[in-house]
Chain A
């Protein structure tokens, strides 16, 4: 309510300036005042920075394993501490005392306060190509001794760094997954729109196709696909293909909704007016009719994002989700999906937090954009 009130207060200035300003500037002004949308936008930008600079931001390569540190718990990073050579700011992490216990079937870790592994920023580590071009081995953060253990979010069953894997996972999850959402959004609006706008036999045909798509079983299709994909195809391409197929099958729900809406809208005056003005069908659909239920579309899209990000988890039992060494948040959560992890290594669930943050950020960003673009509300 607070935000709402303050924005009403600024209305007068708005309309005065609005007379001089362009439409986009107005939208931006309105958007900027939407505090949550700004936060959402900020996180979205951060996530995409992570996508592009994952190798630099991650301390280690995602598949660097270690026999010694399987299921090592998270360490805390001590930033301030007096060191004669470096002064007060000399961050370090504590080492572990490790005992292999066969009776318990695990390694037992105790933080060893005596052992300090100095940590630095802008340090050398595993080498990589930044943005696929520049060969370098610089990392934002990492242990000064590349062999020292540093597991800020703990280690997984092979002693791989969960933090680094989550950072690398952002890349696939925030790119390919979103393409799928976009594609099914487009198909849903287009086909649902045509169905509702023209009605009659167009509607009949599209609706039968929807009934058909909704009742054919997808699992045998996936199994068939899993068998048919040749061994040489890289995992990321397989995943992309799957996403495209998911969206080709997944547009039906939205299409039904759009159609229902269009049935109600097609007789409205503004649609008639646009038609009499000689607007093309697509323009009427996308410029005139769709904006009148933008909130619904934003809600559907944001709700579809986690589904797409995690899509490979539901398919991975067939072996056609993402395959190692490619990581995604879905893969990481899939790996944590057992009692062993939940009970003895709960830090493996942390990638779930990344999904929640991404979805919330995109949702608030979307809400903010919608509000800002809507001429009726303030």
Chain B
């Protein structure tokens, strides 16, 4: 078994190398990486490059070097969705006053990235990589001649700066992000040469590359050493002390976060002088501004197949609008060129449809990477032993699932858009498992009654089922109305469905502010939440979600037994054998090297999940859409949306362009 796995690993390693990277591609030749992301490279290698007229002016004025000198020796060639675009224009967006660096709209430039369809990890800032046979060492090759937005070279030193001065600086982050830690051991990051960096782990980290492609991987390439070293307390203690005194601050970590900032922190893009690798860079500080503009990065490293430097769009401007309904009206009015997820929810589609002409936008379809509209998570290790036993009985869960009239709910709340579905990878994912997706989804009152009779056979005069102690059994379900108001409607109908088979149901509807606290209370038996990360390879990086989510006693067992956590958050409860196996498999996923070995394990996990049926699902999300400005071209239709796959950014946002004829 072991040798077989090793062999597979080697095979895969070779495969990966062949497919994704050519570590020492000679300068000027067609880069292998480009071939990867652009199947048909009609033009061949570029001998000269074109640039935006906006930059040509600066080159002529002597403010900028010519475009060929600004690009790396082998720029990343990106295939636009529709065709070669036009330079210029100003892209409008709305800013909710909280976080500009929402990777779905801005800031998705990591070492590697998702392919447009999310099915594989492809090169980005790194032009290639090597993975050691045992999966413990990842070596990334950077692009020669690639530059920050101020013209300085981007090298391995910048990545080392991030690792040493930011990620492992205990005053900023007490621990590095989990992607970079295996078995409690942080990675060792070393510079092999100016263009080569190695991440070495204490044990195999099979999902490292996949994780790095998600939103959180961006942090690696955000820190220009030549500029930020003045803000480091290790490299420039006096200077930092002076600056902190000027800002009346005494603690380094908080001060650094408010002045420099890393992933997801507001200061991240607030300093217009801070060099960046993003397609657009700030021109003024944005915190507190009502409207602000980012301009194109003259040194951006990507080109289209016709040798035009990307991005096509010159300027991006954001306007502050904090209230969601105001943002909706502004979007309807054409002040946001790609509508946000939070306001393009199905209930608003009728409004979006009505004002297409006013707002000069079109509606495109979205593949929601969510795998379910709503999941019911039961507290299978409820502190009350009787309740725990009832919920742990698979018949109870099966009964509740069959009692739900899913089609009626979909018709009422989602005007018929959806498909009865359980917690399972989406049909277009390579991990699709039909048995898991469809089991116990048919509306079958008789079957539901039969299953429930096996658990709670006795009923009172009004037909409600009784708990073993002879009192009416009331099932308390917590619903967050702040996040998805439609859940309140869904659960209102589900309550009627369940009461029809004799299960007294009490809905505890709460707002965003309190639901997380309420979850933990003993008077809640179950709660509902969305099922996320169902497309492409995402089920693989979220395999841990297929264990029962609200069984904290079992989770504590897993933490203690498999991860060596000394003080778990909850009292340990030993899970049944099949769940122990599932926990072990999930932990083993990280040790498995290569997609095939990982797929095998993943499929076993999904089969186990289907056997045990821990979580009840409602419906596969359908009918999602976005409003896209009519002038905005190269937007795939449908486009994938999600978080770990932060769509639409991986759909090559930099190739979007504005067609002046349609504006």
Contacts and interface: CB of A to CB of B under 8 A. Distances in A.
A and B associate in one complex: yes
Interface of A: 63, 65-68, 70, 100, 102-107, 157-159, 223, 226-227, 230-232, 316-320, 323-325, 338-340, 343-344
Contact of A324 (B349, B408, B509): B509
Contacts of B390: none
A105 B523 CA distance: 38
6 contacts: A65-B493, A102-B623, A316-B511, A319-B510, A319-B513, A344-B354
Contacts of B417: 102
B272 interface: no
B482 interface: yes
Contacts of B450: none
B623 A339 contact: no
Interface stretch (B70-78, B514-522, B642-650): B514-522
Interface string B607-628: 0000000000000000101000
A231 B514 CA distance: 13
Contacts of A223: 513-514
Contacts of B512: 317
B489 A67 contact: no
Given A226-B510, A319-B482, A67 B408 contact: yes
A230 B523 contact: yes
Interface in B468-526: 474, 476, 478, 480-482, 488-489, 492-493, 506-515, 517-518, 521, 523-524
B621 to A, nearest CB: 14
A103 B349 CA distance: 8
Contact of A104 (B350, B408, B474): B350
B514 A157 contact: no
A318 B514 contact: yes
B349 A104 contact: yes
Interface string B185-229: 000000000000000000000000000000000000000000000
Contact of B350 (A68, A324, A344): A344
Contacts of A100: 415-416
A240 to B, nearest CB: 17
B353 interface: yes
Contacts of B363: 103
A227 B517 contact: yes
Given A70-B415, A231-B523, A340 B513 contact: no
A105 B514 contact: no
A154 to B, nearest CB: 15
Nearest to A219: B513
Given A70-B412, A104-B354, A105-B350, 11 more contacts: A67-B408, A100-B416, A104-B350, A105-B623, A226-B514, A317-B482, A319-B482, A319-B513, A323-B509, A324-B492, A324-B509
A343 B354 contact: yes
B411 A67 contact: yes
A360 to B, nearest CB: 29
B562 interface: no
A159 B413 CA distance: 10
A319 B518 CA distance: 11
Contacts of B412: 65-67, 70, 158-159
A340 B324 CA distance: 12
Contacts of B518: 227, 231
Contact of A339 (B349, B351, B415): B351
B80 interface: no
A324 B477 CA distance: 13
Contact of B507 (A65, A68, A70, A323): A323
B329 interface: yes
Contacts of B474: 232
Contact of B513 (A102, A226, A338): A226
A320 B417 CA distance: 31
B349 A231 contact: no
Contact of A227 (B351, B481, B514): B514
Interface of B: 325, 328-329, 332, 346-354, 363, 408, 411-413, 415-417, 474, 476, 478, 480-482, 488-489, 492-493, 506-515, 517-518, 521, 523-524, 623, 625
Contacts of A102: 415-417, 623
B496 to A, nearest CB: 9
Contacts of B329: 339
B251 to A, nearest CB: 26
Contacts of A338: 325
A336 to B, nearest CB: 12
Which of B412, B474, B507, B515 has the largest number of chain A CB atoms within 10 A? B412
Contacts of A230: 523
A340 B344 CA distance: 11
A166 B145 CA distance: 70
Contacts of A106: 349-350, 353, 415
Contacts of B514: 223, 226-227, 318-320
Nearest to B510: A319
A104 B411 contact: no
A319 B514 CA distance: 8
A319 B354 contact: no
Contacts of B482: 317, 319
A23 to B, nearest CB: 51
A277 to B, nearest CB: 55
Contacts of A159: 412
A325 B492 contact: yes
A69 to B, nearest CB: 10
A158 B354 contact: no
B383 to A, nearest CB: 15
B208 to A, nearest CB: 39
A359 to B, nearest CB: 26
A86 B493 CA distance: 38
A159 B415 CA distance: 11
Given A104-B349, A105-B350, A344-B351, A319 B481 contact: yes
A105 B356 CA distance: 14
A223 B513 CA distance: 7
Given A106-B415, A223-B514, A340 B351 contact: yes
A226 B511 contact: yes
Contacts of A232: 474, 476, 506, 523
Contacts of A324: 488, 492, 507, 509
A28 B329 CA distance: 53
A207 B69 CA distance: 74
In the A-B complex, list the 6 residue pairs whose CB atoms are closest, starting with the nearest. Answer: A105-B349, A319-B510, A319-B511, A67-B412, A67-B411, A106-B350
Contacts of B354: 104, 343-344
Contacts of A158: 412-413, 489, 492
Contacts of A67: 408, 411-412
A231 B623 contact: no
A63 B515 CA distance: 24
Contacts of B415: 70, 100, 102, 105-107
Contacts of A323: 507, 509
A113 B465 CA distance: 47
A231 B476 contact: yes
B365 to A, nearest CB: 10
A261 B217 CA distance: 67
A333 to B, nearest CB: 14
Contacts of B351: 339-340, 343-344
Contacts of A339: 325, 328-329, 332, 348, 351
A36 to B, nearest CB: 37
B507 to A, nearest CB: 7
A129 to B, nearest CB: 14
A316 B511 CA distance: 8
A159 B623 CA distance: 20
A232 B623 CA distance: 36
A254 B332 CA distance: 44
Contacts of B508: 231
A68 B412 CA distance: 7
Contacts of B513: 223, 226, 317-319
B511 A63 contact: no
Contacts of B476: 231-232
Contacts of A103: 353, 363
